[in-house]
């Protein structure tokens, strides 16, 4: 039983995830949100992306190995600027 618990704790550390919220001004239609989501989803380590047009916010759940700067660069490839609002550990 102790080995199982130790393995579970180690797996959580290895596969730890974060959730970040970004403000992406300029998104004004569903096509905009789709383009931003697609660019972010192409990054290694991204688990889930959701975008809300009414608040112009994008939420990203991703592996800890992925850096915020990489997500911001992906957003920039769509001609939009992203600003990190918050980041915290993601708990399933």
- In tens, the pLDDT along 8-50 reads 444 554 568 999 999 999 999 999 999 999 999 999 999 999 9
Residue 4 is assigned to a structural domain of this protein? no
Q: Which carries the bigger pLDDT value, residue 88 or residue 2? A: 88
CATH code of the domain covering residue 47: 3.30.70.100
Strands (E), the chain: 17-25, 46-52, 57-63, 81-89
pLDDT at 49: 98
Residue 62 is assigned to a structural domain of this protein? yes
pLDDT at 6: 45
The structure tokens listed for 42 are 């192409």
- Please state, in angstroms and as integers, the Cα–Cα distance from residue 77 to each residue in 3, 35, 37, 56, 64, following that order: 45, 9, 11, 17, 22
Contacts by 29-33 with C-beta closer than 8 Å and gap 24+?
29/53, 32/78, 32/80, 33/58
- In tens, the pLDDT along 61-73 reads 999 899 999 999 9
CA atoms within 13 A on the CB side of 23: 6
What is the domain count for the chain? 1
Residue 33 is assigned to a structural domain of this protein? yes
Residue 46 is assigned to a structural domain of this protein? yes
Give the total residue count for the chain: 92
């Amino acid at each position: 039983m102790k080995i199982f618990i130790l393995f579970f704790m180690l797996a959580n550390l290895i596969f730890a995830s974060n959730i970040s919220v970004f403000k992406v001004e300029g998104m004004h239609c569903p096509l905009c949100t789709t383009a931003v989501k697609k660019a972010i989803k192409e990054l290694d380590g991204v688990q889930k992306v959701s975008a809300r047009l009414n608040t112009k916010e994008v939420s990203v759940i991703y592996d800890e190995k992925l850096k915020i700067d990489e997500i911001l660069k992906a957003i920039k490839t769509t001609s939009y600027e992203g600003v990190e609002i918050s980041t915290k550990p993601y708990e399933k």
